[in-house]
């Protein structure tokens, strides 16, 4: 800051000396504009030179490798398609078969063996999901069942949405597709299971948040 001020003061003195040779008021106003422009430019150039270069953002692979190295807890990597970002979440709590995974900013997903059953801290949160399709998905079987998604509304109450879902084999081996319709909305979830556990998935959170992709980094 002291260096910036000194540069500005020097420029002001030099330009003021030139301006004093003219007795014209219009010229003085023009010089005032030049003074401000030159001073602002000098300060901006000096600040740009002294700013430390920013490190490039980590790729999802680099972020996952670092998280696995420094955090011994169970970890998942979550891609928020609608928000355009990827987060590493660590398990912060477990209640029976349900696990809560959270970011440092306290955004959370609640998972049950890889099945998304709730969100917290994201806005327009999914209070709880009740997928009757879960057994079909884990077994890799075909069939039809209901899925109920409950959302928090502005008054703090839960609003349930019920969907009819069909479960079947996906276009690639090992992928199971859950196609759901209801309330003038349709969505399609994709799952890759290993031993009844969902290792990788793309699941619909709701109308506002859209889809998330979830990958287990450490079970």
Looking at residue 50, its pLDDT comes to 55
Q: Which two tokens stand for residue 211?
A: 């889809």
Q: Are both 43 and 104 inside the same structural domain?
A: no
134 and 46 in a common domain: no
- Does 142 reside within a domain? yes
Give domain status of residue 113, yes or no.
yes
Domain holding 204: CATH number? 2.40.360.10
Does pTM top 0.85 for this prediction?
A: no
Whether 28 is covered by a domain: the verdict is yes
Residues 178 and 84 both lie in one domain: yes
pLDDT digits (tens, 9 = 90+) for 146-157: 999 999 887 878
40-76 exposure pattern, b = at least 16 Cβ within 10 A, e = fewer: eebbeebeeeeeeeeeeeeeeeeebeebeeeeeebbb
- Calculate the alpha carbon distances from 168 to 99, 113, 138, 140, 214 in Å: 26, 19, 11, 8, 20
Which residues 6+ apart lie within 8 Å of 78 measured at CB?
Answer: 86, 87, 88, 89, 101, 109, 212, 213, 214, 215
The pLDDT, as a whole number, for residue 98 is: 97
Residues 40, 101 share a domain: no
192 Ramachandran zone, left/alpha/beta (phi>0; psi -120 to 50) = beta
Are 80 and 167 found together in one domain? yes
- Pair (31, 65) in one structural domain: no
pLDDT at 39: 52
Sign of the four-CA dihedral 119, 122, 125, 127:
positive
- Asked whether residue 55 is assigned to any structural domain, the reply reads no
Does 41 share its domain with 64? no
- Same domain? 74 vs 132: yes
Regarding whether 101 and 20 lie in a shared domain, the answer is no
Given a cut of 50, the residues of the chain with pLDDT beneath it are: 1-27, 30-31, 33-35, 38
Q: Which two tokens stand for residue 205?
A: 């959170």
C-alpha span between 107 and 48 (Å, rounded): 35
Q: Mark whether 66 and 41 lie in a shared domain.
A: no
DSSP label at residue 72: -
- Based on the domain organization, do 209 and 126 belong to the same domain? yes
Range(s) of the domain holding residue 115: 60-218
- Predicted local confidence at residue 168, as pLDDT: 97
> Domains in the chain: how many in total?
2
Domain shared by 112 and 143, yes or no: yes
- How far, in Å, CA of 142 to CA of 163, rounded? 17
């Amino acid at each position: 800051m002291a260096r910036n001020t000194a540069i500005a003061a020097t420029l002001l003195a030099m330009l003021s000396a030139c301006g004093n040779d003219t007795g014209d008021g219009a010229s003085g106003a023009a010089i005032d504009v030049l003074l401000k422009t030159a001073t602002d430019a000098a300060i901006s150039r000096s600040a740009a030179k002294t700013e430390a270069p920013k490190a490039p953002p980590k790729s999802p692979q680099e972020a996952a490798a670092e998280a696995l190295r420094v955090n011994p807890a169970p970890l998942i990597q979550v891609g928020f398609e609608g928000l355009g970002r990827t987060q590493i979440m660590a398990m912060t709590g477990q209640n029976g078969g349900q696990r809560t995974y959270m970011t440092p900013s306290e955004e959370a997903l609640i998972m049950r063996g890889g099945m998304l059953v709730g969100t917290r801290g994201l806005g327009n949160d999914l209070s709880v999901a009740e997928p009757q399709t879960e057994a079909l998905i884990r077994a890799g079987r075909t069939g039809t069942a209901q899925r109920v998604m409950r959302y928090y509304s502005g008054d703090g109450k839960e609003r349930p949405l019920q969907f009819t879902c069909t479960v079947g084999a996906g276009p690639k081996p090992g992928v199971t597709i859950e196609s759901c319709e209801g309330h003038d909305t349709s969505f399609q979830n994709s799952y890759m299971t290993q031993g009844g556990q969902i290792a990788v998935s793309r699941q619909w959170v709701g109308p506002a948040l859209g889809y998330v992709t979830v990958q287990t980094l450490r079970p």
